[in-house]
Amino acid sequence: AQKITQTQPGMFVQEKEAVTLDCTYDTSDPSYGLFWYKQPSSGEMIFLIYQGSYDQQNATEGRYSLNFQKARKSANLVISASQLGDSAMYFCAMRVNNNDMRFGAGTRLTVKP
């Protein structure tokens, strides 16, 4: 079975600090893609970063980086230098072998001024 788990319902971070949002996944298929999305209160899902199962290096996109630990089946999102506009829901998602995308339950991040 394919499963995505986000164990942090809510996280707080001080502005300008770094924060790590946890994500673990479960699949027996060697080919999969991992995604992180941000969902502000407006509802739109904004793509942040992608990591393929065969990628050797951790993905980075600006202030976002993905800490990919394949053996531990974790794909944590690291946001550096947090900004007030980073306050939102964050979803981890996985697609296995061209099948449908599965989402975690999400983590609500609040950035404090």
Q: What residue ranges bind another protein (CB under 8 A)?
A: 31-33, 35, 37, 42-47, 50, 52, 91, 93, 95-106
In the bound state with another protein, the residue whose beta carbon lies nearer, of 27 and 82, is 27
Q: What is the DSSP string of 37-84?
A: EEE-TT---EEEEEEETT-SS--EETTEEEEEETTTTEEEEEE-S--G
Burial of 75 (0-12, 13-18, 19+ CB in 10 A): buried
- In the complex, what is the shortest distance from the CB of residue 45 to another protein, in angstroms, rounded to a whole number? 4
> Nearer to another protein by C-beta: 71 or 98?
98
Residue (7 or 14) nearer to another protein, CB: 7
